[in-house]
Amino acid sequence: MTTRLWRPYCQEQTTPAPLTASATAGSRIALADGRTLIDGISSWWTACHGYNHPVIRAAVAEQLEAMPHVMLGGLVHEQASVLADRLADALPGDLEHVFLSESGSVAVEIGLKIARQYWLNSGAQDRSRFLAFQHAYHGDTFAAMSICDPEEGMHSLFGDVVAGQLIVPMPRDSATLANFERVVEQHAHELAGIVLEPLVQAAGGMKFHSPDVLRAVADTAARHDVLLLLDEIATGFGRTGTMFACEQAAVQPDIVMLSKALTGGTLPLAATIATRRVHDAFLSDDPLHALMHGPTFMGNALACAAANASLTLFETEPRLAQVAHIERRMARGLEACRDLQHVADVRVIGAIGVVQLDRVPDLEALRQAFVAEGVWVRPLNDVVYLMPPFVIDDDDLDGLISAVIRVVSRWSRAPC
Ligand SMILES: Cc1ncc(COP(=O)(O)O)c(C=O)c1O
């Protein structure tokens, strides 16, 4: 198929044409050429209920009949208000003010803007910078790029354009913890917030940290009265084993960002959710204290219907038990990679399984090898990872695991 589509994350001159997908169902992607692939990455980690779940399809179809979209300026609709209530109920603590948008990067932008304006509205003009962590990835827009890893990330070209933020190593041991605490202490007067992907830094290399690390970050933020922004765009909705990763550390952020699996991977939607304390700093007689933000398609009714149906599925189907099952099976299965040459680590949390290589392979060659094995797995720099739909059956999950073992074994004998 010839196409004028500009492809994402792709050197188009040297990368072969993309495969054409013609249909999806459950944990499988059908290609136009008749092949079917077992999906190991849930369409960029979104399709937690598998593809084409009938409950989400029915909710979207019903909403389509009534009202596909209406602007949220001056109007509201039931799907959006119900979704706000349900998200506020599902999240820990008093995270209860829900601002809707259409993508993860935009949700992050809004989180940063809310944090900055919280301090402006509170009379702390200097609180304008953010602290984030090496290996972080928070999106591709400019403010989001400023809090990604400046060297390892994919945005190093834009160093002279994005805002200069404080990027420090994750405080995993006493030295990095001392460094983190020192930087926060030195810069607290100018810090608006600390931004973190809780438990798993996803696109920056599938790096895990413990709930203790997350707690230490939260404690330091609280001690210095710096806002804590948790980016649960990849980790939210069960991916790490609990509905939200922050639950595992009993940490309550001031602002949380959600997207990806919010609609079960069917329609674009994101949410930035703030605590009552943060939200109430925007209430004033001064119009300039209002949050001046409003994406045209925020709260799209079809997307909100999909998100409400997705939340219903978390209540009515055993998603977290499925995640626990996937975790056990991947941990057992992927262990076979641990002793292979050029494999540096194997790690699993929830429905995320990672084989860490000791170098960046020829990514295109590996991707093609996976397709030849009948699976859709796309290594990310030096990691081969699985993030399957939670509904995947054991046969398909084993198919993914054995494809990873076969492809990584072949590569490890002749790493390219
Ligand atoms: C943790 C995290 N934050 C933000 C984003 C950006 O989301 P989007 O691609 O929807 O803009 C991503 C995307 O991978 C992500 O993993």
Per annotation, catalytic residue among 140, 149, 207, 260: 260
Phi, psi dihedral angles at 329 (to 5 degrees)? -70, -40
Task: Using the mean position of ligand 1's atoms as its centre, give its distance from the Cα of residue 87 in Å.
Answer: 19
233 lines ligand 1 (CB under 6 A): yes
**Interatomic CA distance for residues 157 and 139, integer angstroms:** 15
Pocket test for ligand 1, best of 110, 137, 378 (most atoms within 8 A of CB): 137
Whether residue 253 has its Cβ less than 6 Å from ligand 1:
no
Whether residue 135 has its Cβ less than 6 Å from ligand 1: no
pLDDT of res. 163: 87
In this structure, how many other beta carbons lie within 10 angstroms of the beta carbon of residue 76?
Answer: 12
d(CA 202, CA 208) in angstroms, rounded, equals 8
Residues 60 and 48: their CA atoms lie apart, in Å, by 17
Assigned token pair, 325: 């099952």
Residue 157: the pLDDT is 87
Out of 39, 231, 254, 396, pick the active-site residue: 231
With a 6 A CB cut-off, is 231 part of the ligand 1 pocket? yes
Closest by CA to 258, choosing from 293, 227, 232, 235, is 232
Q: Residue 168, SS3?
A: strand
The whole-chain average pLDDT of the chain stands at: 97
Tallying the residues shown for the chain, one arrives at 416
Which parts of the chain register pLDDT below 50?
A: none
| Nearest protein Cα to ligand 1, atom 8 | 104
Which residue among 41, 46, 105 is best mutated to probe the pocket of ligand 1, counting the most ligand atoms within 8 A of its Cβ? 105
C-alpha of residue 382 to centroid of ligand 1, in Å: 19
Question: Are 165 and 89 within 8 A, CB to CB?
Answer: no
Structural domains in the chain? Answer: 54-316 (3.40.640.10), 318-413 (3.90.1150.10)
The CA 232 to ligand 1 mean position distance, Å, reads 9
Q: Is 139 in the pocket of ligand 1 (CB under 6 A)?
A: yes
Instruction: Determine the distance separating the centroid of ligand 1 and the alpha carbon of 86, expressed in angstroms.
Output: 22
Catalytic, 137? Answer yes
Q: How far, in Å, CA of 12 to CA of 263, rounded?
A: 30
Given 39, 137, 254, 396, the catalytic residue: 137
Per the annotation, the verdict on 51 as an active-site residue is: no
Smallest CA separation from ligand 1 atom 13, residue: 139
**Is residue 265 in contact with ligand 1, taking CB distance under 6 Å?**
no
Report the C-alpha gap between 130 and 254 in whole angstroms. 14
| Residues in Cβ contact with 236 at an 8 Å cutoff, skipping those fewer than 6 apart | 243, 244, 245, 256, 258, 260, 261, 262
d(CA 50, CA 221): 37
Instruction: Give the model's pLDDT for residue 2.
Output: 59
- 67 C-beta neighbours (distance < 10 Å), count: 13
46 close to ligand 1 (CB < 6 Angstrom): no
What is the pTM for the complete model shown?
0.98
Does 219 participate in catalysis according to the annotation? no
CA 144 to ligand 1 center in whole angstroms: 9
Q: Kindly state if the Cβ of 147 falls inside 6 Å of ligand 1.
A: no
396 C-beta closer than 6 A to ligand 1: no
Residue 213 pLDDT: 98
Give the model's pLDDT for residue 92. 95
Q: Indicate if ligand 1 lies below 6 Å from the C-beta of 143.
A: no
Tell me what pLDDT residue 1 has.
58
231 in active site? yes
What's the CA gap between 188 and 182, in Å, rounded?
A: 10
- Residues of the chain with pLDDT > 90, as a percent, come to 95
pLDDT tens digit sequence for 340-377? 999 999 999 999 999 999 999 999 999 999 999 999 99
Q: From 175, 158, 222, select the one nearest 194 (Cα to Cα).
A: 222
Q: What is the DSSP string of 264-327?
A: TTSS--EEEEEEHHHHHTT-SS-GGGS-----TTTT-HHHHHHHHHHHHHHHHS-HHHHHHHHH
Q: Rg (Cα) of the chain, in Å, rounded? A: 21
* Ligand 1: residue whose CA is nearest its atom 3: 138
Alpha helices in 5-129 (DSSP H): 42-45, 54-66, 78-90, 104-121
Written as six digits, the tokens of 313 are: 């599925």
What is the sign of the dihedral through the CA atoms of 313, 314, 317 and 323? positive
CA distances from 336 to 38, 331, 367 (A): 20, 9, 20
Tens digits of residue pLDDT in 24-71: 999 999 999 999 999 999 999 999 999 999 999 999 999 999 999 999
Q: Is the CB of residue 202 below 6 angstroms from any atom belonging to ligand 1?
A: yes
Alpha-carbon distance of 204 to 275, in angstroms, equals 28
